[in-house]
Structure 1
Amino acid sequence: MKFEIMRDRLLDGINDVMKAISQKVAIPILTGIKIEVNEKGLTMTGSDSDITICTFIPAEDNGEQIIKVAEKGNIVLQAKVFSEIARKLPTNEVTIEVVNGLQTHIQSGKSEFHLIGSDAEDYPVLPDVKDDYLFSLPSDLMKSIIRETVFAVSQQETRPILTGVHWEAKDGGLSCVATDSHRLARRLTVPEDMPDMPFSIVIPGKSLQELNKILPDNSESVDIVIADQQVLFKTRNVLFYSRLLEGNYPDTSRLIPSEYKTSIVVNGKHLLQAIDRASLLAREERNNIVRFSADDSNVIEISSNSPEVGKVEELLEATDLSGEDLKISFSAKYMMDALKAIDGQDVSIHFTGAMRPFILQAVGDDTILQLILPVRTY
């Protein structure tokens, strides 16, 4: 194997596949990056068994030659060392050559590195994913869906199914739900080409966070292929495989209230800033609790109290307020996460009582829903 490549393009590819590589793997070869080159270009693969990322760098792009292939072949190189070397090479021209089976020479300018690779035949084969369930979403919409849901997955492994986001297709729409049993985030969307057959899968939150780092910030189409135990996300030059979580996701639809006793419309950005300030004095050991009260005067009071530190009170004008007077307490962190997901728009908050879950939605947009369980303090 021998080829020349532009260092910046090589680094982009390495940075993508490194997101799938862990030093804590049962199969030692998975601490390496698999490199395959032929006349079409270079494919690099990284995996930790749960996530597999393949990135392809074409030999030519828009008439510009990126890779000159002298001899095709493959090798597995230690990921950590290879990425450090690529990052510190002195020029943008890099030559990589494998001689005597596994001896790998990397040359750039006057620098030359000699690495001992591993046999690519020993690298696990990619999951076999058939296009039975295939649909597409624009990349920027995918990133929004991830941002608006993944923060609410459980960090506890006691109920592994809750560490993932539940993607469910039915009636032509896609529902994405995450919950850690204290809060819930839901995003609804209607993809153009949903498969006719309904499906229900749970994608690990960790996988979606890594995918989010790779997806481009544009409307480029992302193909989503669902298989038995795997989901595959395909962009122009990247394949991202993730295992799916096994088990039944709880029915969360019954948690979402349909009747409300108090409804408030307020500027989301101002509310976020007020809760952020109130949380400065909220006691850590009480899970960062903030109090929220409203009466018929269209003014909300946000407060927090820490006997050791002091207290804070802040008044915020609501755009609209209807229903019963209300006093409620909740986690400042959960509330701020929910408001960030709604992203600074005017927010409708619907309450059904001091100890019942309440929901937040952007005014005039029911595609994003955030639900939070209050905390007993009053």
Structure 2
Amino acid sequence: MKFTIQRDQFVQSINHVSKAISSRSTIPVLAGIKIEAYKDGVTLTGSDSDISIESFIPSEVGDEQFVEIEEEGTTVLQARFFAEIVKKLPEATVEIRVNEQNIAQISSGSSVFNINGMNADEYPRLPEIEEENVFQLKTDLLKALIKQTAFAVSTSETRPVLTGIHWSMEDGTLTCTATDSHRLAMSEAKVESEAADLSFTNVVIPGKSLSELSKILDDSEEHIDIVVTNNQILFKAKNLLFFSRLLDGNYPATKNMIPTNQKTMVQLDAKKLLAAIERALLLSDAKNNVVNLKSIDEEHLEITSVTPEVGKVTEDVTSLKFEGEELRIAFNGKNIIDALRVIESSEVAIQFTGAMSPFIMRPADRDYMLHLFSPVRTY
């Protein structure tokens, strides 16, 4: 194998596929990046037990040549060394040549590295997916859905299904939900589907997989194809394939958790509420981050945090709108902060159903997103 490639394009693809490579892999070949060079371009692949990423660099796009293939071939190179070498090479182009003993020579300008490769035939094949259940989303919309939900997944492995984001499709609407059993984040989007009657109810994608996908994708209005099967999901972007396994198990019926009535509704400035809770947490116990909220009158709320051995903070927050009963509740302030940071709205509406009942926060000007929180018992 022998080819010359633009270093910037090469580095970008290496960074993409490296996100799928685990440093703790028990299979030696999976600690490497698979490189395939054929006349139409170079394909890089990285994989672990959860995700597989394939990035393609075409030989040329329009008048610009990215790769010049002199000899076709395949190899697998240790990701840790190979990635760092290519990033630090001095020139704008890189030459890769691999001999019959699978020793790769990487050269650029005055720099020459020789590293041992592995047989590409030992590298596992990517999943073969039947593309029956396919729909499309704009890339920036997909990234927004991930951002609005991924922060709420569980980090505990005691219930593995909660470490994922639940996707369901009905009547052309995709609903994404994440919960760690103390909070819940839900966001919806209309989708474009080749199959008008496409529906599914229990697709759970590891939160880690979607977070890594979001890092790779550029902000754009280009469409990405999404293919769903029983145990895998595939995201197909331009020159990129991203496979993720799905989590086993039934996701909890989260729609039953959302209150349908309210005793109190408060509308607040999102930035001012965020800043007030951040200040309140400065004196809170870092273990549970408890913040107390109570209504003073219809125009003023009081936020307090008390740590006996440290002190007390009191914040006055102006209410833009107040309906219903007097309010007094305690909650995990950090959970509210996480949600406020992804709500892209200047005002939020919060619906309360009682001091010890879950409450809802959503953007005041839209209804396709909501956050649900469990209160904290302080006595």
Length-normalised TM-score, structure 1 = 0.98
Instruction: For 1:43-62, list aligned pairs within 5 A.
Output: 43-62=43-62
Q: Please list, as runs of the form range in 1=range in 2, the aligned pairs for 1:62-73 lying within 5 A after superposition.
A: 62-73=62-73
Match in the other structure for 1:221: 223
CA deviations on 1:246-266 (whole Å, 9 max, x unpaired) are 111110111100100000000
Cα deviation, 1:36-91, whole Å, max 9, x if unaligned, reads: 01111110000112110000011102310111100111000000000010011111
> How far, CA to CA, are the matches of 1:101 and 1:227 in structure 2?
39
Shift of 1:182: 0.3
Aligned residue for 1:166, secondary structure, equals strand
Aligned to 2:292: 291
Shift of residue 228 of structure 1? 2.4
1:296 is displaced (CA, Å) by 3.3
Q: Which residue of 1 aligns with 2:156?
A: 156
Would you say the 8 A contact 1:269–1:344 is kept in 2? Answer: no
For 2:56 and 2:344, locate their aligned partners in 1 and report how far apart those are by CA, in whole Å.
34
Structure-2 separation of matches of 1:263 and 1:296: 13
| Alpha-carbon distance in 2 for matches of 1:230, 1:101 | 36
The answer to whether the aligner puts 1:246 opposite 2:260 as a matched pair is: no
**Residues 262-271 or 289-298, more deviating:** 289-298
Using the TM superposition, give the Cα deviation of residue 271 of structure 1 relative to its aligned residue in structure 2, in angstroms: 0.3
TM-fit CA distance, 1:28: 1.3
Contact 1:174–1:190 (CA<8 Å) still a contact in 2? yes
The residue number in structure 1 matching 2:114 is: 114
Q: Deviations over 1:247-294 (max 9, x none)?
A: 111101111001000000001111001000101101123x01011111
- Equivalent residues in 2 for 1:208-357 (5 A)? 208-285=210-287, 287-357=288-358
C-alpha distance in 2 between matches for 1:345 and 1:222: 29
1:101 aligns to 2:101 (yes or no): yes
- In the alignment, the residues of structure 2 paired with residue 344 and residue 259 of structure 1 have an alpha-carbon distance, to the nearest angstrom, of 23
1:135-150 to 2 correspondences below 5 Å: 135-150=135-150
CA spacing shift, 1:328–1:194, aligned 2, 3 Å: farther
**For 1:174 and 1:75, how far apart are their aligned partners in 2?**
40
Partner-residue secondary structure (3-state), 2:274: helix
Question: Does the 8 Å CA contact 2:302/2:315 hold for their aligned counterparts?
Answer: yes
Residue identity matched to 2:82: F
CA distance in 2, matches of 1:54, 1:192: 24
Indicate conservation of the 8 Å contact 1:173/1:194, yes or no.
Answer: no
Task: Name the amino acid aligned to 1:362.
Answer: P
* SS of residue matched to 2:208: helix
Q: For the residues of structure 2 that align with 1:359 and 1:374, how far apart are their CA atoms?
A: 11
Equivalent-residue separation in structure 1 for 2:240 and 2:370 (angstroms): 31
SS of the aligned residue for 1:280 comes to helix
The Cα shift of 1:170 comes to 1.3
Q: Residue 246 of structure 1 aligns to a residue in which SS?
A: coil
Question: 1:359 corresponds to which letter in structure 2?
Answer: I
CA distance in 1, matches of 2:61, 2:172: 37
Question: Is this contact kept in 2: 1:295–1:324, CA < 8 A?
Answer: no
Other-structure match for 2:89: 89
1:298 CA drift (Å):
1.4
Structure 1 residue runs without a partner (length 5+): none
Deviation at 1:295, TM superposition (A): 4.0
Question: Using the alignment, how far apart are the partners of 1:209 and 1:364 within structure 2?
Answer: 27
CA distance in 2, matches of 1:217, 1:266: 30
How far the C-alpha of 1:172 sits from its partner, in A, is 2.0
CA contact (8 A) 2:94 2:108 kept: yes
User: What is the CA-CA distance between 1:122 and the residue it aligns to?
Assistant: 0.4
Aligned to 1:28: 28
Q: Please say which of residues 312-321 and 92-101 is displaced more in the overlay.
A: 92-101
Q: How far, CA to CA, are the matches of 2:213 and 2:163 in structure 1?
A: 16
Judge conservation of contact 2:296–2:302 (CA < 8 Å) in 1: no
Moved more, 140-149 or 20-29: 20-29
Residue in structure 2 matched with residue 375 of structure 1 by the alignment: 376
Q: Distance in 1 between matches of 2:247 and 2:135?
A: 20
Q: Residue type matched to 1:284 in 2?
A: A
Name the amino acid aligned to 2:125: V
Which 10-residue stretch deviates more, 98-107 or 253-262? 98-107
Other structure's SS at 1:284 match = coil
Taking the aligned partners of 2:136 and 2:352, their CA distance within structure 1 comes to 36
Tell me if structure 1 keeps the 8 A contact 2:2–2:71: yes
Measured in 2, the distance between the counterparts of 1:194 and 1:188 equals 19
Who is 1:131 aligned against? 131
CA drift at 1:194: 6.4
Aligned with 2:118: secondary structure? coil
SS at match of 1:249: coil
Q: Which runs of 5 or more structure 2 residues have no equivalent in the other structure?
A: none
Verify the 8 A CA contact 1:138 1:219 in the aligned structure 2: yes
Distance 2:317 2:299 in 1: 9
